[in-house]
Structure 1
Amino acid sequence: MTAANITPEFIRINQITTHEDIDISNLAKVIKCIRKTKEINPIILDEETFMVIDGHHRFYAMKMLGFSKIPAYLINYRKDYVKVNKWFRKLVNDNDMNKIVSTIIPDNDGKICMNFLSKKLCSDSEYTLYWKLNVIEKYLSSIGINVIKNSKEGIEPPSLDKEYVLSIAKKGLRFPPKTTRHSYEFIIPNYRISLNEFV
């Protein structure tokens, strides 16, 4: 697949499912941008399930603005040209934090665990562990410690595979915001579409 053969389609919003929650302040910024520019970059959807792969905030913004359709690139999520990656957590003043937070580790009884404040935080699933990690990140933020999500440095969260992500969406559940980081072995066109094209 190349940029030459990927074109946006207009998909009804009520057909679309999501797999991540959103950040309210980021959503407000996206809504403001759409209102100001009257344009939007297409979101990326799985062509089979219409699950949002990238563009959750744009999707919810258009939904809240009352649009019935949204421009989207449809791709086959299960193909090898789509990769689901993770966001590492880099802590500001990391040297001071090493004794507070360390890497996520597998536990002997099959649970997924991480060390936090000299205690082991465990869960039976990646889904619930990501939500526990989200609570920790909010706590760290409340005491003035920034958690910067990036592609390679810091605390490594558990890996997620595509079938697991699809199953979460199918159940109507949502991961915390910015849980998955998708990459593509083709170029996604970077142009905005005027809202006038599909009003």
Structure 2
Amino acid sequence: MTTTQNYQYLTNLLTKLELKTCVVDIKTLRPHEEVIAEKVNQVKRDILSRGYVKYPVLVDLKTFVILDGHHRVEALKQLGFDKAPVFFVDYSKSYIIVKSFRKDFNVTKQLVVEAGLSNRLLPPKTSRHILVRIPLPSSFVPIYILSSSRYNWCLPTIEKLLTFNTSN
């Protein structure tokens, strides 16, 4: 397969992931904000008492930058889980907008992506992402799925994308 064919194949895979909920390896996700320890502890208690993760983490499908759900991801890591439910969006599209939670910050999509890719995290609760006319679906993913190697929804696709992204 040529580089052009490989790129087209991967682009098609990305398109299929858009607006889908998947269970992915936490290590593939890139945060753009710091977290608040108290909030992480609260989320950990909620996850353990429920036995499931109610909402997926909102993630850009091209960069794997976390848009919403930093505290859920950190809680899952601290609880020893290696997977997280995510809902993929194409951050370049107009159906997702970003606003600032903080008056002292002007948040843009570019700033969010740069923070995630550079690992220079923004302060906690800096950005607020809003899906326009698209409801974030509840996932209700049981926690036993997040620690089992038997459950890898969409994972083969993501591993191929990461291999392609790191080799070029």
- State if a TM-score over 0.5 links the two structures: yes
CA distance, structure 1, for counterparts of residue 105 and residue 49 of structure 2:
38
Is the partner of 1:34 in helix, strand or coil?
helix
Counterparts of 1:30-49 in structure 2, within 5 Å, are: 30-40=43-53, 41-49=55-63
Identity %: 27
CA distance, structure 2, for counterparts of residue 60 and residue 33 of structure 1:
13
Deviation at 1:191, TM superposition (A): 4.1
Verify: 1:61 aligned to 2:9, yes or no.
no
Structure 2: 5+ residue runs without aligned partners? 1-17, 149-168
Cα RMSD for the two superposed structures: 1.5
Query: 8 Å contact 1:6–1:188 — kept in the other structure?
Result: no
Match of 1:182, as an amino acid? H
Query: 8 Å contact 1:16–1:51 — kept in the other structure?
Result: yes
More helix as a share of residues: 2
**Counterpart in the other structure of 2:6:** none
Deviation at 1:7, TM superposition (A): 3.2
Verify: 1:187 aligned to 2:162, yes or no.
no
**Counterpart in the other structure of 1:71:** 85
Query: 8 Å contact 2:107–2:126 — kept in the other structure?
Result: no
Is the partner of 2:138 in helix, strand or coil?
coil
Number of aligned residue pairs: 128
> How far does the alpha carbon of each residue in 1:148-178 deviate from its partner, in whole angstroms, 9 at most, with x for none?
xxxxxxxx33322111211111111111110
Deviation at 1:86, TM superposition (A): 1.3
Counterparts of 1:95-134 in structure 2, within 5 Å, are: none
CA distance, structure 1, for counterparts of residue 27 and residue 128 of structure 2:
24
Return the TM-score normalized by structure 1: 0.60
Deviation at 1:80, TM superposition (A): 1.1
**Counterpart in the other structure of 1:175:** 122
Structure 1: 5+ residue runs without aligned partners? 89-155
Match of 1:7, as an amino acid? K
